C-alpha cells in the first residue's frame, strides 16, 4: 500500500467539503490516485471534474509533488509513500 496526501482547492474544496485528506492506494501511479477519488466520491466528483469517460477534464491540472503531471504520464508516473497529489481547478480572473 502507498500512502498519499490529496489537496483540494477552490470549487473542488467546496464540492468535497475538505481541504484535503490522506489515502492508502493499492496501485502505485497518479492514475490510481485519481481512480481512488472516483471510487470515494462518485457522483459528487464525477460530473464536476471528469468527462463522460472518467477522464479528468482538460481545464483541471494534476500536480504530483508540485510538478504538473500531463495526462499521458498519469498511468506511468509512480507515487511513493508521502507523495502529494493536488488537483488544480480552472482559475477565473481578470
pTM: 0.87
Asked if 34 and 46 touch (Cβ cutoff 8 Å), the reply is: no
Q: Count up the domains in the chain and report the number.
A: 1
- Residue 94 located in a structural domain: no
**Segment 8-27, tens digit of pLDDT:** 988 888 888 899 999 999 87
- Residue 93 located in a structural domain: no
Residue 39: which domain range?
2-88
Q: In degrees, to the nearest 5, what angle opens at C-alpha 18 toward C-alphas 88 and 10? A: 35
- Residue 57 located in a structural domain: yes
**Segment 45-88, tens digit of pLDDT:** 778 888 777 678 888 899 999 999 999 999 999 999 999 999 98
CA distance 57 to 90: 10
Q: The domain that contains 61 carries what CATH number? A: 3.10.20.30
DSSP assignments along 9-20, one per residue: -HHHHHHHT-SE
Tell me the three cell numbers of residue 75. 498511468
- Residue 36 located in a structural domain: yes
Amino acid at each position: 500500500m502507498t500512502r498519499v496526501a490529496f489537496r483540494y482547492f477552490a470549487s473542488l474544496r467546496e464540492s468535497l467539503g475538505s481541504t484535503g485528506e490522506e489515502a492508502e492506494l493499492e496501485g502505485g501511479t497518479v492514475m490510481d490516485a485519481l481512480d481512488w477519488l472516483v471510487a470515494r466520491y462518485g457522483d459528487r466528483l464525477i460530473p464536476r471534474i471528469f468527462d463522460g469517460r472518467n477522464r479528468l477534464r482538460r481545464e483541471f491540472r494534476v500536480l504530483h509533488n508540485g510538478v504538473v503531471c500531463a495526462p499521458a504520464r498519469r498511468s506511468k508516473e509512480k507515487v511513493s509513500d508521502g507523495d502529494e497529489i493536488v488537483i488544480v481547478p480552472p482559475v477565473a480572473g481578470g
